[in-house]
A and B are shown apart, each in its own frame.
Chain A
Amino acid sequence: GAGVSQSPSNKVTEKGKDVELRCDPISGHTALYWYRQSLGQGLEFLIYFQGNSAPDKSGLPSDRFSAERTGGSVSTLTIQRTQQEDSAVYLCASIDRVGSPLHFGNGTRLTVT
């Protein structure tokens, strides 16, 4: 498996529940990004991890959203108290060095009912 892996591929949850989305980046890639893609919309930047530096959280839409990256590899995006407007595809991407293009996973399609 050489690509970015995301799980689950689909998640249906009830409004108010917490969800965790997982991303396994390409081995050896130093930076990891989370984006959100709503129906018919472009990609909205959420958060970025680079090595051991503090993450760039400037795109997180509210304090219900958080993310961590353990051991410089796997990342988890957590959404607390989900709302219907959180329904979207959440995409993870990684790069091997600054300035390189992003390599994306196939995303997690989140539906909040």
Chain B
Amino acid sequence: QKEVEQDPGPLSVPEGAIVSLNCTYSNSAFQYFMWYRQYSRKGPELLMYTYSSGNKEDGRFTAQVDKSSKYISLFIRDSQPSDSATYLCAMSEGTGGFKTIFGAGTRLFVKA
């Protein structure tokens, strides 16, 4: 079993839809949770960064962390064609220089 599980998709939605992306994990020591967006032939860019459980909102994006269920989510409201990309969840223990573990990424297509 992988430490971080993420459905690779692809996920196709119409413009304006609400998108829900999810990851589950097995390591209860993870404390820092991130979502990255990756366009074709580019490096991943940080979208959201949260510590421990709870919600964080930034514009059209909301990240949720449920440590009791070992489950994290990213919601995208009013999705746009420019949101079409691969979304990677990532997490780390965060202290002592522990490495960041990534999910496989979910490919999202937003149709105009």
Chain A interface size, under 10 / 10 to 19 / 20 to 34 / 35 or more: 20 to 34
Q: Give the nearest-CB partner of A4 in chain B.
A: B43
Q: Does B97 contact A (CB under 8 A)?
A: yes
Q: Which residues of B contact A (CB under 8 A)?
A: 4, 6, 8, 32, 34, 36, 41-46, 49, 88, 90, 92, 94-97, 99-105
Within 8 A of B (CB), among A23-52: 31, 33, 35, 40-43, 45, 48, 50
Q: Does A14 contact B (CB under 8 A)?
A: no
Q: Which residues of A contact B (CB under 8 A)?
A: 4, 31, 33, 35, 40-43, 45, 48, 50, 53, 56, 59, 91, 93, 98-99, 101-107, 109
**What's the count of A-B pairs with C-beta under 8 Å?**
62
Residues of A within 8 A of B43 (CB): 4, 91, 93, 104-107
Q: Give the nearest-CB partner of A10 in chain B.
A: B41
Q: Could you jot down 22 A-B contacts, CB within 8 Å?
A: A33-B100, A35-B102, A40-B8, A41-B104, A42-B4, A43-B88, A43-B102, A45-B99, A45-B101, A48-B99, A50-B97, A53-B97, A56-B97, A59-B99, A91-B44, A99-B94, A99-B95, A101-B46, A102-B46, A104-B45, A105-B43, A109-B41
Q: Give the nearest-CB partner of A106 in chain B.
A: B43
Q: Given the complex of chains A and B, what is the CA–CA distance between A50 and B92 in angstroms?
A: 15
Residues of B within 8 A of A101 (CB): 32, 34, 46, 49, 90, 100
Across the interface, do A33 and B99 meet the contact criterion of CB distance under 8 Å? yes
Q: Given the complex of chains A and B, what is the CA–CA distance between A47 and B42 in angstroms?
A: 21
Q: Given the complex of chains A and B, what is the CA–CA distance between A56 and B93 in angstroms?
A: 15
B32 to chain A, nearest CB (A): 6
Residues of A within 8 A of B90 (CB): 43, 101-102
